């Protein structure tokens, strides 16, 4: 693999594996609000948000860091009172006194915030914020990626317009590397190790979130699993991983490294591979290469599914994990492909019903499947090419999963949102 392609892939990983605090959907909404308020130059008299259904769904029931509250209203209030758009997905990380000011502002001015769906919205990740005061109107729009502004304007003046950017392009419009699972595997296993060491940064933050989660957040999924692990390595590894999700989804203020715009996906791609490699006595280079394989496989698969989907992000993340686990056991390329196809035929139906504390349960399901799929693959056992979404070629199998998540589940998204917004409480 030549140096130019290696650099493109490294840039891709660094762009997709970034620090985020709290759930990325309310974080992205807060980012848009902060940008619109900054553009207006003052506190608005009214704030309107128009969201794609996927963003709306993922922001309804998730904890907002450091607030003890869930949902968008408090996230919007923080962004208006103390948000700094230069902090990107850490925009909700503010001092305690700012949180209290935001709560007070929300209690007194909550009626000035209107949140609704963007009509006829083709983008699954779309956030439009309109802030008004007097005759002044500021607009900020994010689309395709959680931090990707495509439009910023004040009154009739366009300050920024990049609405033609494709989802397969970098922020500056340059083309991303064309991936295949073979390229992913070769990059992870043959690139000079000094070029891959940056991935170790993901471990410290995500481990800290796991340690915090074991104190008890959400459903206490991780803590309860850990209490019953009885020294079993796989059970312990999964317990630590889902504990980080417990904390993150229940409003913990600690940042984590995300993958493809999702903190849970970043946690899942990192901790099981690192913790399992450490427990099995693998050396540093093996663990680093396995982490790269896990993260990059998830990125590759997620590209076909799309940034947001009715298909749970734990599907692509746990497929990344199974490749890392297979590699740590000495698995070859064919066995890594077997593990991927086994996973596709296991988890393809997992539906995203919004971000919330119980996401830790879905993560545990995905990770247990990852270990089972890897174990089968290491014995050269793979689902038949005629089974379900699987084909003989692993990239075709991945493509089929992408088609299901990107196009095939649109009506599922509508149904999930309808159920979530019409519950009999």
Render pLDDT for 265-307 as a digit per residue (tens, 0 to 9): 999 999 999 999 999 999 999 999 999 999 999 999 999 999 8
Segments making up each domain of the chain, as ranges: 23-161, 181-420
Burial of 103 (0-12, 13-18, 19+ CB in 10 A): middle
Q: Quick: pLDDT tens for 143-172.
A: 999 999 999 999 989 988 887 654 444 444
> What's residue 172's pLDDT?
45
d(CA 357, CA 222): 11
DSSP 404: I
Q: Quick: pLDDT tens for 15-62.
A: 999 999 888 999 999 999 999 999 999 999 999 999 999 999 988 889
46 strand-pairing partners? 132
160 strand-pairing partners? 152
Cβ contact 389:274 at 8 Å: no
- Where would I find the beta strands (DSSP E) of 232-386? 255-257
- pTM value is 0.91
The pLDDT-based confidence of 424 (bands split at 50, 70, 90) is: confident
Question: What is the pLDDT averaged over residues 132-142?
Answer: 97
Cβ contact 235:228 at 8 Å: yes
Concatenating the DSSP letter of every residue in 287-320 gives HHHHHHHHHHHHHHHHHHH-SS-SB-THHHHHHH
What is the overall mean pLDDT for the chain? 94
139 strand-pairing partners? 130, 153
The pLDDT-based confidence of 122 (bands split at 50, 70, 90) is: confident
d(CA 276, CA 156): 56
Q: What percent of the chain has pLDDT over 90?
A: 84
What does residue 242 show for φ and ψ, rounded to 5 degrees?
-70, -20
CATH number of this structure's domain 23-161, picked from the four choices 3.30.1330, 3.30.1580, 1.10.10, 3.40.50 = 3.30.1330
Chain-centroid distance of CA 275 in Å reads: 20
What's the CATH architecture for 181-420?
Orthogonal Bundle (1.10)
3-state secondary structure of 105: helix
Cβ-Cβ contacts under 8 Å for 332 (sequence gap 6 or more): none
């Amino acid at each position: 693999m030549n140096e130019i392609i290696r650099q493109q892939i490294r840039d891709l990983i660094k762009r997709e594996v970034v620090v985020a605090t709290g759930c990325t959907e309310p974080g992205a909404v807060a980012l848009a609000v902060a940008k619109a308020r900054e553009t207006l130059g003052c506190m608005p008299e009214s704030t309107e948000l128009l969201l794609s259904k996927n963003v709306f769904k993922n922001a309804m029931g998730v904890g907002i860091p450091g607030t003890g509250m869930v949902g968008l209203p408090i996230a919007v209030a923080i962004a208006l009172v103390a948000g700094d758009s230069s902090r990107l997905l850490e925009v909700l990380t503010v001092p305690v006194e700012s949180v209290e000011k935001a709560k007070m502002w929300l209690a007194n001015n909550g009626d000035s915030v209107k949140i609704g769906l963007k009509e006829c919205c083709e983008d699954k990740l779309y956030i439009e914020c309109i802030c008004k005061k007097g005759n002044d109107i500021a607009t900020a729009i994010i689309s395709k990626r959680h931090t990707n502004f495509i439009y910023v304007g004040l009154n009739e003046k366009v300050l920024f317009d990049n609405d033609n950017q494709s989802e397969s392009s970098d922020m500056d419009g340059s083309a991303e590397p064309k991936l295949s699972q073979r390229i992913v595997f070769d990059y992870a296993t043959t690139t000079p190790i000094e070029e891959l060491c940056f991935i170790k940064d993901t471990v410290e933050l995500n481990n800290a979130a796991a340690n915090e989660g074991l104190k008890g957040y959400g459903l206490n999924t991780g803590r309860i699993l850990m209490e019953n692990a009885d020294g079993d390595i796989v059970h312990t590894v999964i317990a630590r991983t889902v504990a980080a999700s417990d904390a993150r989804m229940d409003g913990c203020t600690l940042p984590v490294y995300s993958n493809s715009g999702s903190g849970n996906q970043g946690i899942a791609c990192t901790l099981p591979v690192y913790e399992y490699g450490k427990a099995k006595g693998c050396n540093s280079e093996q663990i680093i290469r396995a982490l790269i394989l896990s993260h990059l496989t998830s990125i590759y698969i997620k590209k076909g599914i799309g940034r947001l989907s009715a298909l749970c992000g734990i599907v692509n993340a746990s497929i990344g994990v199974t490749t890392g686990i297979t590699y740590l056991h000495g698995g070859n390329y064919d066995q890594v492909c077997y593990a991927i196809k086994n996973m596709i035929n296991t988890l393809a139906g997992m539906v995203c019903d919004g971000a919330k504390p119980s996401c830790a349960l879905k993560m545990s399901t995905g990770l247990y499947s990852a270990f089972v799929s890897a174990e089968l693959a290491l014995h050269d056992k793979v689902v038949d090419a005629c089974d379900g979404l699987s084909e003989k070629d692993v990239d075709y199998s991945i493509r089929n999963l992408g088609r299901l998540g990107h196009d095939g589940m649109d009506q599922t998204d509508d149904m999930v949102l309808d159920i979530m917004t019409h519950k009999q409480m």
